[in-house]
Chain A
């Protein structure tokens, strides 16, 4: 009954922990491993105006969230103007206004993007309505019908139909029908519109997608028209020249439908275009920025919202549960004995600063010297609390002496002895000497080295950069640690050391007569 209860509790803790972690990793893009950098694109749309002194209003459509990239940040930069963004989704637009503007004015819309893990989201969208078959006139009508028939014969579904059509349309040695249809079309947008018109002959919904090829150091670029067809579930993006589907990794989807033009009142557009730069940034920064943009409660209430000083404290504190789990494993599964339940965890935390070998040496030196003095105190018949205080004073003095000596010898590593938790060391000395008196040196040394071994293991676990990263970025994973601790709380199996403890049973009991 209790076991079932604990198991269900542990299971739900594990599920909650994993679910939050998965959400943060997949949706918010928080990195599961430390030290990774992300590629960040800064795309600037620049509009140059010549204003004639009166009020100016600039109105421009903005890309929605589905650009094939994860949007980190957007900014409106214009000195004399106030900017607002208006609308949602595909209707989003920026409006710049100025009461008075004269001469050359430059407006920037700056977008910071990073490549998301998913790319262009294939959002389910309803069929926008089947287009009517247009009146092509003759002889174009016959050419379209012939072309569609031959494409239909060689294709299986809407996607392959559209691809095939694009390929046929771009074949250099295309047949007469294609040549007739291409005739008189000058620009890429015309060709895409032409393709849409031909697809309408097969009643396939299609539209123009305005894309931007991102290049390092690109300047004054313009949007390039691509083709999108609807396959009755979602829109498929097609390169209007090669027929390749999907958006390449460096191509940004800015909008669909009509050409996104800048509407200006009270001024003249001199020039507008796009520029882009690429930078490398820490994934963590990128991800938190992105999450802040999504208004995620999980991140705005996370450890990242704390002051940096406090954050670095938590980077260490969150590892304590990992150390505690090691202690549980070593005590209840292995059966090692330690002085004080969590003393090894505190020693392990000190090892993080001193490094392992120096840490072990310092620990042994301080405890050994402390024990010597404690044995001397034993003869003085001191009362408990004054005796504990005396041991503490001696431990602090030993630490200070070690620091001074090692510094004068030029061995600055040992200065870090100051980071040992001295009260814990004093208690260790006291308990060890009591065990030494009551149960003998063997028991005392066994427990002492047991504590040290568990501390080393806890240090090795807590010093894993991956674990440190996970504990801080995904503190909900500590729910898993809690779940394991709860499960071990109802563990009734043997401890490893009980093989030794019960060795006489294993060895001799068979011979009982």
Chain B
């Protein structure tokens, strides 16, 4: 059978379709700075009453390295981010002090020199989109809900939700691994775990393009876990659309053990791996949103629509496979 036709039948959205039909159609260019600059996103979110990880400070020039010292004085852990980074590049998670120096989430030491060099690199734009000079954000490290300790290796899992025209259509949890150095991005070696939008339990998982059931480092099962506070989380994701005005949006959330769901960052060009983690194509869900006569204004109503669409698509998918399972049995 023609594999391209098979991909279409599975409802998988490819790069070209994502770019031409969703990003270029629904994401106005002038809105990009709102999400490409994480500092701006954070301030917008704070103004809208959306919870975000606490900002410890901003470094705009190399002369402020001394200020960084005082900023970090007495802190055990923090996160360093380029404000305009992409794909998790340039993010360093520091988990503890190691005498004069620090220790990274991966367990490797992180000397003062390395810290200064890293900050300088970020400032000169090494990790920013287009190589433009950048600023450094120092953030409070999120302590992920302890219930997920068994499935994350030295880092913070996050929950990526694709929100299309305000309706959350698909979500996955991204788990850091030994290979991904505390970061959760799939192309760096993180685990992608599909989440059933309808009730927030994890379904299927993928790691390095292979389906898995157990976390590669902790060997705990990553499927059939319940994400706590799922309804609030989904509503928060839907709310972020009003915040930035992007029609095709990736919302990254974390579950802090003390502060509950926090918005980590927004993404104007969310990737397509979420489909592989969920074993389900985005196509039918996006089509279902496009078929809606009217999209409600309230975030909770949109979250409800997302739940309906997701469960309808899953049922549809299962029904389509039913004859095959009967014949094989």
Q: Which of A256-264, A347-355, A496-504 lies at the interface?
A: A496-504
Chain B: minimal CB distance from A164 (Å): 65
Q: Are A504 and B16 in contact (CB under 8 A)?
A: no
In this assembly, does A439 line the interface, its C-beta being within 8 Å of a C-beta of chain B? yes
Chain B residues lying within 8 Å of A335, measured Cβ to Cβ, are 15
Q: Which of A84-92, A169-177, A505-513 lies at the interface?
A: A505-513
Chain A residues lying within 8 Å of B204, measured Cβ to Cβ, are 512
Q: Are A494 and B7 in contact (CB under 8 A)?
A: yes
Chain B: minimal CB distance from A5 (Å): 13
Chain A: minimal CB distance from B65 (Å): 13
Q: Are B16 and A494 in contact (CB under 8 A)?
A: yes
Looking at A490, A499, A501, the one whose CB has the most chain B CB atoms below 10 A away is: A501
Chain A residues lying within 8 Å of B187, measured Cβ to Cβ, are 439
In-complex Cβ contact of B20 among A385, A490, A505 (8 A): A490
Scoring B residues 1 to 38 as 1 if CB is less than 8 Å from chain A, else 0, what string do you get? 00110111010101111001100010000000000000
**B178-226 contacts to A (CB < 8 Å):** 187-188, 204, 206, 209-211
In this assembly, does B108 line the interface, its C-beta being within 8 Å of a C-beta of chain A? no
Chain B: minimal CB distance from A197 (Å): 77
Q: Are B16 and A332 in contact (CB under 8 A)?
A: yes
Q: Are A505 and B7 in contact (CB under 8 A)?
A: yes
In this assembly, does B44 line the interface, its C-beta being within 8 Å of a C-beta of chain A? no
In this assembly, does A492 line the interface, its C-beta being within 8 Å of a C-beta of chain B? yes
CA distance A434 to B14 in the complex (A): 27
Chain A, residue nearest B280 (CB): A509
In this assembly, does A409 line the interface, its C-beta being within 8 Å of a C-beta of chain B? no
Chain A: minimal CB distance from B217 (Å): 18
Chain A residues lying within 8 Å of B3, measured Cβ to Cβ, are 499, 506
| Interface size of A in residues (CB-CB distance below 8 Å) | 30
Looking at A335, A384, A490, A505, the one whose CB has the most chain B CB atoms below 10 A away is: A505
In this assembly, does B120 line the interface, its C-beta being within 8 Å of a C-beta of chain A? yes
Chain B: minimal CB distance from A110 (Å): 61
A491 with B16, Cβ < 8 A, contacts A502-B7, A509-B279, A510-B324 known: yes
CA distance A335 to B18 in the complex (A): 14
Chain B: minimal CB distance from A202 (Å): 71
Q: Are B16 and A493 in contact (CB under 8 A)?
A: yes
In this assembly, does B151 line the interface, its C-beta being within 8 Å of a C-beta of chain A? no
Chain B, residue nearest A509 (CB): B279
Q: Are B12 and A505 in contact (CB under 8 A)?
A: yes
Chain A residues lying within 8 Å of B6, measured Cβ to Cβ, are 506
Residues of B within 8 A of A (CB): 3-4, 6-8, 10, 12, 14-17, 20-21, 25, 89, 113, 117, 120-121, 124-126, 131, 187-188, 204, 206, 209-211, 272, 275-276, 279, 281, 317, 321, 324-325
Sort A-B residue pairs by CB-CB distance and give the 8 closest, nearest first: A384-B124, A492-B17, A381-B117, A494-B14, A492-B20, A498-B14, A492-B16, A499-B3
